[in-house]
Structure 1
Amino acid sequence: MDAEEIRRSAALEDRHWWYAERRALVRRLVGPLPPGRAVDVGCGPGGNTAVLRQLGWWVTGLEYSPVAASIARARGLPVVRGDATALPFADESFDLVMSTDMWEHVEDHEAVARETARVLRPGGRALIAVPCSMRLWSGHDVALGHVRRYEKPELAALMQRAGLEVHDVRSWNVLLRPVARARRRHNTGDSEMEHVAPALNLALRAVVKTEQVLPVHRLPGISIVALASRPRR
């Protein structure tokens, strides 16, 4: 993502339905885990990093972009500049590695997966979220600097090759997939991360929340969320 897109996303992060519901997803998935030491790899402006801190984790953000790292630090978050393909941390340093919408930006995602496994302690957890399906590829992905979108088997196999044990691979943002597909059919180069009118913003949040009580997580969505761990010795 270029600097202008990062600043625009950071300005939207507090209220925009997509960011708000992604934070809620992190809370639901990480909340049951006993807090420990965590790293948010590709933390961006730090919205999800802050969620981990609120949940009691001792958390560090890792960010490649100097603009995003600067914004996260200005929010009072501890951030290290670095490359996800060569994490500047010792082996077995963390109880949780989280990456939300970062792997799709990196050409060598095999290295990112290996590094995720390397810095996890045995029994440590990984929470990975990525965009789903090349069928949704559009100018939105180009504007955000994506290299790819993923299918569930592809993501699971990638993590398993890195030595992680995959426990669950689920869809997220399923109900809005038809809307996204219709919209992106004509998108040739614009990011969809833009201001949304308050009433529509609330309605979109409500749609995403509804997925919590519907059996839709195995259907195709806009995003994929994977939960894994490093096997114990």
Structure 2
Amino acid sequence: MVDSTEIQKLVALEDRHWWYRERRALLARNLRRLPGPPGTALDIGAAGGGNTRVLQKHHWSPIAVEYGHDGATAARKRALPTVRGDGRHLPIRSDSVDLVVAFDVLEHIDDDERVVTEMRRVLRPGASALITVPCDMKLWSAHDVAVGHLRRYTRDTLRAVLENGGLRVERLWSWNVLLRPGAAYTRKKSTTSDLRKMNPLVNAALSAVIVTERFLPVQSLPGVSLMARAVRDA
């Protein structure tokens, strides 16, 4: 579980921080690629609802599901439909959801496969899930400890968790590839989480790099994170 202090930092910084801004853009691009019209979406581990707002903007009817008090309170203050809930026991009817979003959630939960099983349960047949996780234990650092990570994933371990939980992986790729060398160097020396207020010039420079990645064929290379699009078959 994410520490309350880290949730408060996230809520305060996510609108401006380069990493959260690009992750929201990543979600938006993938929403546009999904088949069919928007419907009901579940944002698991929503924290303050940054991704929930992206879902609203793209005409989905979202529900923010957040385990912690601070995140759920922040999401409600933003007038987002919010429920307190555990990803291993979602308080949602079976076969009732058209999309599940779980961005940087699985790595926080001991029984990650159970979370995927719950995703499958609430999804309608043919509906999709969009999932991101941190990748590669070689990048493990004090940052992971501070933000409550239990693991980092490889392509094979993420695929196995999703498939064992009953989802079919349509696509799996890397993101935050260009900044991986810098992340590896920084985290060797880190003593706490990376989430902090940044110099605006540094924030702008990092944002420019990560935006450039959208236009380069680097998604098969090692990155800092992995993203998957998976489907519940009938």
The answer to whether TM tops 0.5 is yes
Query: 3-state DSSP class of the match of 2:189?
Result: coil
How far apart in 2 are the matches of 1:55 and 1:111? 29
The one-character-per-residue Cα deviations of 1:201-231 (angstroms, maximum 9, x if unpaired) are 1111111111111110011111100001001
Query: 3-state DSSP class of the match of 1:156?
Result: helix
Superposed displacement of residue 50, structure 1? 0.4
The one-character-per-residue Cα deviations of 1:13-36 (angstroms, maximum 9, x if unpaired) are 110000100000000001233211
How far apart in 1 are the matches of 2:6 and 2:46? 15
- Which residue among 144, 147, 158 is the counterpart of 2:147? 144
How far apart in 2 are the matches of 1:183 and 1:124? 39
The one-character-per-residue Cα deviations of 1:188-208 (angstroms, maximum 9, x if unpaired) are 3x0111111112211111111
For the aligned residue pairs, the C-alpha RMSD in angstroms reads 0.8
How far apart in 1 are the matches of 2:158 and 2:3? 25
Runs of 5+ consecutive residues of structure 2 not aligned to the other structure: none
Letter in 1 for 2:193: S
Runs of 5+ consecutive residues of structure 1 not aligned to the other structure: none
Q: Which runs of 4+ in 1 moved over 3 A?
A: none
The one-character-per-residue Cα deviations of 1:143-168 (angstroms, maximum 9, x if unpaired) are 00111111011101111111111011
How far apart in 2 are the matches of 1:14 and 1:210? 20
Aligned length, in residue pairs: 231
Residue in 2 that maps onto 1:209: 211
Residue in 2 that maps onto 1:70: 73
Query: 3-state DSSP class of the match of 1:199?
Result: helix
| Identity over aligned pairs, percent | 51
Alignment of 1:20 with 2:21, yes or no, is: yes
Residue in 1 that maps onto 2:46: 43
Normalised by the size of structure 2, how large is the TM-score?
0.97
Residue in 1 that maps onto 2:102: 99
Superposed displacement of residue 37, structure 1? 0.6
Residue in 2 that maps onto 1:220: 222
Superposed displacement of residue 4, structure 1? 1.5
Normalised by the size of structure 1, how large is the TM-score?
0.97
Query: 3-state DSSP class of the match of 1:185?
Result: helix
Residue in 2 that maps onto 1:80: 83
